Amino acid sequence: MVLRLLARYRRTVVLASAILFAFLLMSLATRREENLTPFLKRILLETASPFLRATTYLRDSVADVWGNYVDLRAVRQENLRLKQEIEGLQVRLNVLEEIRRENQRLMTLLDLQETMSFPYVASRVIGRDVTNWFHSVVIDRGSRHGLQPHMAVVAPGGLVGQVVGAGPLSAQIQLITDPVSSVGVLLEHSRVTGLLEGAQFGRLRIKYLPILAEIRVGDVVMTSGLGGVYPKGIRVGQVVAVDKRSGALFQEAGVEPSIDFSRLEEVLVIAGEHADPSRSRRSGE
């Protein structure tokens, strides 16, 4: 009887099951203490990542061959220019080395040794978010390389985001521009803290800035270290607009990220003690 009914209303039953299962997954994904959806996501990610890795490898190989050909043509001039640049950089390096030593001494004095002394895992971006709604990337390193959720990710320009899912050979990084990302930040000049949130179209906004604080356009934004995910002092961007409304309890600021996320190719994952597995995946700080 039941089987006959199921056969008769097969389309409806399949559609209803798919919708119910989808909603079940979504409701599970929003819960903090559950392991099914991260597990499923890892499996799906791992089945797709070999193809992404192969494509990236192929693309890079073609680019290398082409780049080598082009480079050969201009190698002489480039060589001369680079030699001059190296000489200049050597001088700068000596100066910077001296500053670093001085800084290290001062940090020792101030007992701030832990800043920027974490082990990094270098990895390559092999895929970007496949929707226009969210902002994430897939990298070619995973749990086998020591990556875990809630590890901070940086690039030479500044903060990139955090690991939100790690399979054995690949991981997903939530960018700071993602609508559900939030990062505790500190303004370099005014020394006030706020909460940096991602928004649509890759914009960044700092919320909960004290209304009396003097925020200036151009002020450098860096991580505050509050919350335990991101180490203190990583550059995030700079203030491009200040929104101070009369009667409001807080002011807000628009931020231009220091990284061009559309050109992100390599990242460094901070595989240090800042990862805190007990935190929710949908809130960075």
Provide the binding-site residues for another protein, judged by CB under 8 A.
10-11, 14-15, 18-19, 21-26, 28-30, 37, 40-41, 44-45, 48, 51-52, 55-56, 59, 126-136, 138, 164, 172, 174, 178-180, 200-202, 262
- Tokens standing for 219? 């002020």
Considering beta carbons, is residue 38 or 158 the nearer one to another protein? Answer: 38
For the CB of residue 267, give the shortest distance to another protein in the complex, in Å.
Answer: 15
Considering beta carbons, is residue 57 or 120 the nearer one to another protein? Answer: 57
For the CB of residue 227, give the shortest distance to another protein in the complex, in Å.
Answer: 19
For the CB of residue 121, give the shortest distance to another protein in the complex, in Å.
Answer: 21
Residues, the chain: 285
Considering beta carbons, is residue 262 or 278 the nearer one to another protein? Answer: 262
Q: Give the separation between CA 234 and CA 260, rounded to whole angstroms.
A: 16
Considering beta carbons, is residue 126 or 271 the nearer one to another protein? Answer: 126
- Tokens standing for 83? 């030699």
* Residue 29 CB-half CA count within 13 A: 15
Single-letter residue type at 39: F
Considering beta carbons, is residue 10 or 81 the nearer one to another protein? Answer: 10
Single-letter residue type at 175: L
- Write out 100-121 in H/E/C secondary structure: HHHHHHHHHHHCCCCCCCCCEE
For the CB of residue 195, give the shortest distance to another protein in the complex, in Å.
Answer: 13
Considering beta carbons, is residue 182 or 238 the nearer one to another protein? Answer: 182
For the CB of residue 32, give the shortest distance to another protein in the complex, in Å.
Answer: 13
For the CB of residue 106, give the shortest distance to another protein in the complex, in Å.
Answer: 40
Instruction: Catalogue the long-range contacts made by 270-273 (C-beta closer than 8 Å, 24 or more residues apart).
Output: 270/118, 270/119, 270/120, 270/151, 270/152, 270/153, 270/154, 270/231, 271/118, 271/119, 271/120, 271/121, 271/146, 271/147, 271/151, 272/118, 272/119, 272/151, 272/231, 273/118
